[in-house]
Structure 1
Amino acid sequence: MSTFQLYRSPETAVPAGRLRVSSLGIHEAMLPGMLRYHQQRELLLMFFHTPARAGHETDCRGGFILWPHGTLCYYGNPERSWDHSWCVLEGSAANLLRELHGLPAGRALKADAEPVFLRYFEAILRELNSRQQQDEYVLEHLVDLLFYELSRLIRNPELQIPKRLQRAEEFMWTRIADPLTLEEIAREAALSVSRFSSLFHRYYGEPPMQYLNRKRMNLAAQQLLYHAGSCKQIAEMTGFADQFHFSRRFRQFWGVSPREFRAEKMLRHLHGGGEVAGHTDL
């Protein structure tokens, strides 16, 4: 069950050898807009959880892209908030592994790979946070497995998420400000509630309403960090008509109130924690 997480290697980190992770973000929700970034590292791997554009591709939801060194990256959604995960890889092994598994660079690939990305990004993040210096051997094997699973998804379309579940997941995101019921979401997939819940859990790794709540809590956290909006405005934006209900659910999920979350994260950012930085300095 993934929440917003961010890693940036220390400025004093040892220069890249075979493989080094310089930064990684999981479920970073962004405000409407397009980002332009000149990729100067070895490889930038990016997955889009929600509708977004990347380069010349206009519909990248559920897809991923590998931006190689020297590429001008252009991505985002100019019409509404969007959510993505990403990782910057350095060292000679990054492109060698990409070539070994036949993953094209510079263009978006549709693979319905959200469970794969979350599983390996979280494993990489745990490894990075467990020691002071990066272990190239462990990281290289994790990236190798990630690339293998991505190439397997591309080769085997039957492993991908059924279209009706994708429609339901898209419905959740586009209606995230509405108080949706499980029956409404299942109807969008043209399935009974029990069948929909079972299939959704199988492909997304958690029950649909738990998944929706996590999406809302991630979006609320991002709004608290990046926006000056009031808690009441953020509550309405994330599907809560009652500000007190929103605050209670937020505390249950994050362990602190919305006001405490905003104050704690901003204070950490001011003291150099780097937890609220965006992509402008990847």
Structure 2
Amino acid sequence: MTMPAIPSSAVSPSFHTVATVVAAGDPRRCGARGSVIELRDSEVDYSTAPAHLCFWVPLSGGITVSPRKGQAYGVAGERLTISPPGSVWRGAWRGRMSTMMLEIHPAVLDELAPGRVVYPNRGELLIAEDATLRHSILALQHSLALSTPDDGLFAGHIARAVAWHYLRRYCSTRVADDDRRKLTPAQLKRALELIDARLADKLALDELAELLDLSVATFCRRFKHSVGLPPYQYVLRTRIERAKAQLARHERSLSEIAQALGFYDQSQFSNAFRRIVGISPREYRRRLQS
């Protein structure tokens, strides 16, 4: 039996052999969706036609994939699977695997590479061992595990970095890498004011881009050229600077500061603070006292 084509996503949680464990992001808003997917032993053929560029990175276990045409192949460990938009795959798999899936909206590809993109492997599934793609996507998986409040910004940034690398390394196209323009002073002021006002909230990239009437990709490029950091890194560092000021006043506990600045918990706040400042927030406060 052949399952019906899946119109908007590479997998569906309604299928008994596929289950979505956790997911975040909206391809229409931030350009990407990250999901942890459990693939279970399949007794039926599947037919998929994903609308998005999709990457699967194995987390544990492994499967043997059997396409309708061609030889069977294994997916596990360092091997990741890539399917371009519009690719059609038919076949089945054996085994069980937990995998991180990243879906990238076609609009992101259009923004990064105007014009026709020629995908590798005749537009069919591609199996690759690529450390850059793997570690970038696993960073998003780590973010999902923490349920970070800025996952929309982070997912959008990761999606564009992954898409950029994929287009340059595997595809034949002219990548739009010559735009070095910055935001105007007025645009930058409006963006920074919104970030400052929403520092403790989930702020999606599309909200910032729409504020300035720019595409998300254009906003990300020009914002980075303007301040030297991608949006999500700027937000994180701004939170840490705000935390320094609150630590100096000794009015709030570490957990209260973490909550007020939008961190998931005190542990996530402490880890981020130590990574950027070099010492823990507790030690930072102690040094201020001495």
Same fold (TM over 0.5): no
Question: The TM-score by the shorter chain falls in which range?
Answer: 0.3 to 0.5
Q: Which of the two has higher C-alpha Rg?
A: 2
Question: What is the TM-score of this pair, normalised by structure 2?
Answer: 0.35
Higher helix share: 1
Question: What is the TM-score of this pair, normalised by structure 1?
Answer: 0.36
